[in-house]
Structure 1
């Protein structure tokens, strides 16, 4: 599905590779100007160069989403450069597979800081501008682990962080809806990325055996859903938690 995002500015976190890059590429291919944000500034710049080479207007920013000052500067820089952030995709995240009894307080805090605090900081920074303009699209990347409580797709700590993203999505959708801002989340299952490469072969096989489509997802699968939710075609959709999972959560 091709949508028209010309005139829109999209800020994508964790956009240097994997799902984040695929989303940035898809939004840009549909006309958006793209802000490629990533913890690794050099990788963000390399990703920006790939987008520009494909004819997409883009800029790169290094930012740690777990640092609220970094996030405020990131959004401020995007607004100073492009005048607005119309689309915010909160994709930056980290995985943890440790069981709760093996999770240190520092491990717990780091996963929450990146996966949940980061989404909160980014929304808090970008939402006022969207409200002032009467338009905005926020897409949060969660996980089916946030619904299932982890398992092969992440430990309890990871599941809790992604479950928090789901609850935050629904809450902000309620707050922002009257101002022309929609807020939705995507819950992927097994997607072939560097992050999921830590799954042992036997575990991967068990997940795939429970996916009716018979394959792992690709970053492009998630990008297609994110682009739809970021478009005017999804103007009447908010507070939605969209499983993009090959049927994994069919029950």
Structure 2
């Protein structure tokens, strides 16, 4: 079987300076794609890009960009075209997940999470559309959603869950609209993945989450990145409007009894 050559592909990864986005950017770079990653801080984005270029030998550059700002998103799309001649893959990955109990939730908290996670994803796709249409059937949109919201709930993250569930509503409509242009739109739904944000929640949280995963380990960013790479490939050209849960089986048990009853 012949697999997708990435040497002539242009990839954007929003929120690519850390966590899952960093893992996605690294894998695409190792495969030979030209990668533009973004982060809120321009200097950090450039330093991360330079490091990835060094360790992968790939073409990686970074820019500062806030997905809450439409004009900055438009500039991101224009910059990718200037640097790499087009856009083949958009990984709308930028996200925030501040914990906030519902009784303490403010309008500003809601605006922040929905603005980054949902509105930012929608506007990123819109800004990249002209270039994705010119990709001649190779246009791919990948959303980083979550099991929290679409599949499960977690106390303290109701606003985050709403943003991630909202991404999937957008995905289905966008997939229908963009299918005539040969653009696919899919999402990955990670479970607990070893990132800086997860580590910040402390060892007790990590231990409790690991105990809930049938495969017995926390996910790695590479687990998510390889799924994204596949969905962005030519081999996945007949897959659109779909979601792929990557959680080590965390959402499989219907109860604690079902989990404990495993042989």
**TM-score in terms of structure 2 length:** 0.90
Instruction: Tell me the CA shift for residue 249 of structure 1.
Output: 2.0
User: Is 1:137 aligned with 2:136?
Assistant: no
Counterpart of 1:211 (choices 213, 232, 237) is 213
Deviations 1:5-25 (A, max 9, x none): 120000001111221111111
> Structure 1 stretches of 5 or more lacking a match?
none
Q: Distance in 2 between matches of 1:243 and 1:201?
A: 24
Aligned counterpart, 1:46: 47
Aligned counterpart, 1:29: 30
CA RMSD of aligned residues (A): 1.7
Range that drifts further, 131-140 or 227-236: 131-140
User: Counterpart of 2:83?
Assistant: 81
Equivalent residue, structure 2, for 1:57 = 59
Higher Rg of the two aligned structures: 2
Distance across 1 between alignment mates of 2:33 and 2:202: 38
Q: Which consecutive residues of structure 2, in runs of 5 or more, have no partner in the other structure?
A: 254-263
Report if the CA contact (8 A) 1:3-1:228 is conserved.
Answer: no
Report the Cα distance in structure 2 between the residues aligned to 1:171 and 1:243, rounded to whole angstroms. 20
In the aligned structure 2, how far is the partner of 1:26 from the partner of 1:239? 23
* More displaced stretch, 116-125 vs 76-85: 76-85
CA positional deviation for 1:40: 1.5
| Matches of 2:202 and 2:159, distance apart in 1 | 19
Tell me if structure 1 keeps the 8 A contact 2:194–2:218: yes
Using structure 1 for the length normalisation, give the TM-score: 0.94
Following superposition, the deviation at residue 215 of structure 1 comes to 0.5
Match of 2:225 in 1: 223
Aligned pairs, how many? Answer: 250
Deviation per residue, 1:137-176 (Å, 9 max, x gap)? 1110001002235316x61000000111111112111111
1:172 corresponds to: 174
**1:238 pairs with 2:263:** no
- CA displacement 1:67-107 (0-9 Å, x = unmatched): 11110111111112211010000111100221222110001
Match of 1:161 among 160, 163, 166: 163
Cα offset for 1:134?
A: 3.0
Structure 2: how far apart are the matches of 1:47 and 1:100? Answer: 35
